[in-house]
Every structure is written in C-alpha cells, then in structure tokens.
Structure 1
Amino acid sequence: MQVYINNELQEFDADLSVEKMLASMQIKPNGIAIAINNTIVSKSKWDGHFIKENDKITIIKATQGG
C-alpha cells in the first residue's frame, strides 16, 4: 500500500497500525505527534488505528530550543 509521510511517497504492507508503521521505520514513539489526513491521532490509539491506501501522514518530532 502507498501512503505519503511528510509529503514523501512510501510503500508499506497492508493491515499496518500507526504503532507498527513507526516501528518498521525505526522511529521511537517518544516526543512525536502523528496526524493522518490532517487529523491528530492520539498516542493511546496508535495500536488500533490502521493506515489506509493514500493516507497523508504527518510525523512531527518535538525539539527543544531557547
């Protein structure tokens, strides 16, 4: 299945949750936020929210600054 992650086309297997997608990309879940099709998906729902063909996923990583 094809999805867009931060505006880049990526290929994944079907039946993939947000949590498993992050694991397959080797992204640690701490300090990030996920939006799918411009809707925030809360961290507590990542394991039950499944990615669909052509979803537009935004991954935002928190940074510190001063």
Structure 2
Amino acid sequence: MTDGPSEKNVEQRANRLPEEHAAGPADDPEAQAQAILEESQERTDDASGTQADTPQTPGP
C-alpha cells in the first residue's frame, strides 16, 4: 500500500473537469481530489477485495 496520493496529484485532480464545473461548485476541491485519489488507490491496491463494492471494477 502506498502513503496516499502525492501533493502534485492532488493539485492536478483539484482542477475540476468541465463536467464537474457544470454540476456546480465544489466546497473544497483539494479535499475532494484527495478523497477521489485515495479511493482509487485503494481499488488499485486491493482490486479483488474491493471488487464487490465497486461497480467500475470488471468481473473475473
């Protein structure tokens, strides 16, 4: 397991996509980016353990 997303990755992900802007304002884009990246890393580190909870993870 890693220590979490780097500060650079969080800053880059905090730059919201056009679709995210259209959905409305973000209260704290950096906190949102941190949470998104941590969840993504968890799915990557434990793909089989998170597969049942994550609809984006392909089946066997």
| TM-score normalised by length of structure 1 | 0.25
Higher strand share: 1
Structure ID, larger Rg: 2
Q: Which has the higher contact order (CA 8 A, sep 6+)?
A: 1
| TM-score normalised by length of structure 2 | 0.26
Higher helix share: 2
